[in-house]
């Protein structure tokens, strides 16, 4: 427990961003926010983990739903009721060195309550495990649902993006940056056609007590340029990730891709992408304009969530109603079978690799070697990559 208290004091009472913040006119406001969060988090940690000798006395375990890097998720029924939860079971032995990651996820989830965000319902602790009882969502992952649909239009994509924007805008209003938005973390609440979409997985989220964050993290194809450059960054990284997701939802393949991480990151750093024909021929100019504002290289010029929500492609009637399921579904199935887009990355390793080659991330040699979707052997113009 003492380790956790020290960790939270270091990261929230005196976060790295406070160094900059203390020199600004907003220093007092930043300090107040930090003190508020540290107080709330310490209360969570000290009081809200329910102790149990055996989790089976609290829940009846039904079946395994999935597994992650250091946890397993099972379907569980609360004893004495019919209530079902997705129970995240984390062995303490694998938590050594990862305590901060789990405590961070708990702290963030304790703070949020939104219809499009998977809720943390309870936390239990046994001598051997930590258990997070999560709201059960049964509708499956975003891409799986799209490929199973009978029809799919630009309007459907606009509706999906609007829901996610609403959830992320809510997080940003609380000073929370998700930092790992990607299709795998967007789940449908139910199997029904009118199901809402839910944002999940807050393991890499961060409560932004000051102005900026500094730790580079995320999933390769969705990370923003400023994060790769290891510059201080903030909420705009989530907007960039939503731009990548929006692009994929309209064509089925990503705006940036290369088999090599350094090449992929070079593409992202230049924010160089295309609306390839024929895949974008039937997509509205409004959709393309929306994406341009989200995939803006300069985070200061990039849309905020609120600005994105006000764009006519989201708030108006600009999205086309033509069925694009065939093309989008085919490309999703081709392009997202590999694990490359599901890996976490280390920006420090990338920058070290670039410097070792004697190149800058945006150097001429890197620029000449990387042409989005045209550097793949045998790839014809206007044809997305098949990797």
326 in the same domain as 276: yes
Answer with the one of 69, 104, 136 that is the final residue of a domain. Answer: 136
62-71, 125-134, 185-194: segment of lowest average pLDDT: 62-71
Answer with the one of 111, 136, 161 that is the final residue of a domain. Answer: 136
d(CA 244, CA 102): 27
Residue 93 assigned as binding residue: yes
159 in the same domain as 279: yes
236 in the same domain as 356: yes
Global pTM? Answer: 0.74
Domain containing 132: what range?
50-136
d(CA 297, CA 266): 12
Q: Which residues are catalytic?
A: 180
70 in the same domain as 199: no
d(CA 29, CA 47): 27
179 in the same domain as 282: yes
pLDDT digits (tens, 9 = 90+) for 323-377: 999 999 999 999 886 544 444 444 444 444 444 444 444 443 333 333 333 333 2
pLDDT for the residue numbered 259: 82
Answer with the one of 47, 62, 81 that is the final residue of a domain. Answer: 47
User: Residues near 258 by Cβ (< 8 Å), separated by ≥ 6?
Assistant: 264, 266, 267, 370, 375
Residue 377 maps to a domain = no
Percent of the chain predicted with pLDDT > 70: 70
Burial 315-351 (b: 16+ CB within 10 A, else e): eeebbbeebbbebbbebbeebbeeebbeeebebeebb
192 in the same domain as 82: no
**Cα dihedral value 37, 43, 49, 50, nearest 10:** -150
pLDDT for the residue numbered 202: 66
CATH assignment of the domain containing 66: 3.30.200.20
195 in the same domain as 96: no
Residue 156 maps to a domain = yes
Count of domains observed in the chain: 3
Three-state secondary-structure class, residue 140? strand
Burial of 305 (0-12, 13-18, 19+ CB in 10 A): buried
* DSSP labels, 266-279: HHHHHT-----TTT
Which of the pair, 46 or 201, is modelled with greater confidence? 201
Residue 169 maps to a domain = yes
d(CA 77, CA 64): 13
Residue 29 maps to a domain = yes
306 in the same domain as 263: yes
- Specify the DSSP element, H or E, that contains 85: strand 84-91
pLDDT for the residue numbered 329: 95
224 in the same domain as 87: no
User: Residues near 160 by Cβ (< 8 Å), separated by ≥ 6?
Assistant: 142, 186, 197, 249
Tokens encoding 74: 């099972």
89 in the same domain as 154: no
């Amino acid at each position: 427990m003492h380790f956790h208290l020290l960790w939270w004091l270091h990261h929230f009472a005196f976060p790295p961003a406070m160094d900059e913040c203390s020199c600004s006119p907003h220093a007092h406001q930043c300090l107040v926010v930090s003190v508020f969060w540290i107080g709330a988090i310490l209360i969570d940690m000290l009081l809200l983990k329910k102790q149990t000798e055996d989790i089976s006395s609290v829940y009846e375990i039904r079946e395994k739903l999935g597994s992650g890097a250091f946890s397993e998720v099972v379907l569980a029924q609360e004893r004495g009721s019919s209530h079902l939860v997705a129970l995240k079971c984390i062995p303490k032995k694998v938590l050594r060195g990862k305590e901060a990651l789990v405590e961070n996820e708990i702290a963030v989830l304790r703070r949020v309550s939104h219809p499009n965000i998977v809720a943390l319902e309870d936390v239990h602790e046994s001598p051997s495990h930590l258990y997070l009882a999560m709201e059960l969502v049964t509708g499956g992952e975003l891409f799986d649902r799209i490929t199973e649909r009978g029809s799919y239009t630009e309007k459907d994509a606009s509706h999906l993006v609007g829901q996610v924007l609403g959830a992320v805008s809510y997080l940003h209003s609380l000073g929370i940056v998700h930092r790992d938005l990607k299709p795998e973390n967007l789940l449908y609440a139910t199997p029904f056609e009118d199901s809402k979409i839910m944002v999940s997985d807050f393991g890499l989220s961060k409560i932004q007590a000051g102005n900026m964050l500094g730790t580079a993290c995320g999933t390769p194809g969705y990370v923003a340029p400023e994060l790769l450059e290891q510059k201080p960054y903030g909420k705009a990284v989530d907007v960039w990730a939503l731009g990548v997701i929006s692009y994929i939802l309209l064509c089925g393949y990503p705006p940036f891709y290369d088999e090599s991480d350094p090449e992929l990151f070079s593409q992202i750093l230049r924010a160089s992408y295309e609306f390839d024909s024929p895949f974008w021929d039937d997509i509205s100019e409004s959709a393309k304009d929306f994406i341009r504002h989200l995939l803006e290289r300069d985070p200061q010029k990039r849309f905020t969530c609120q600005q994105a929500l006000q764009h006519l492609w989201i708030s108006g009637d600009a999205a086309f109603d033509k069925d694009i399921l065939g093309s989008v579904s085919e490309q999703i199935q081709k392009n997202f079978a590999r694990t490359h887009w599901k890996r976490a990355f280390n920006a420090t390793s990338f920058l070290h690799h670039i410097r070792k080659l004697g190149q800058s991330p945006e150097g001429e040699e890197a620029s000449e070697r990387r042409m989005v979707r045209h550097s793949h052997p045998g790839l014809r113009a206007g044809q997305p990559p098949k990797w």
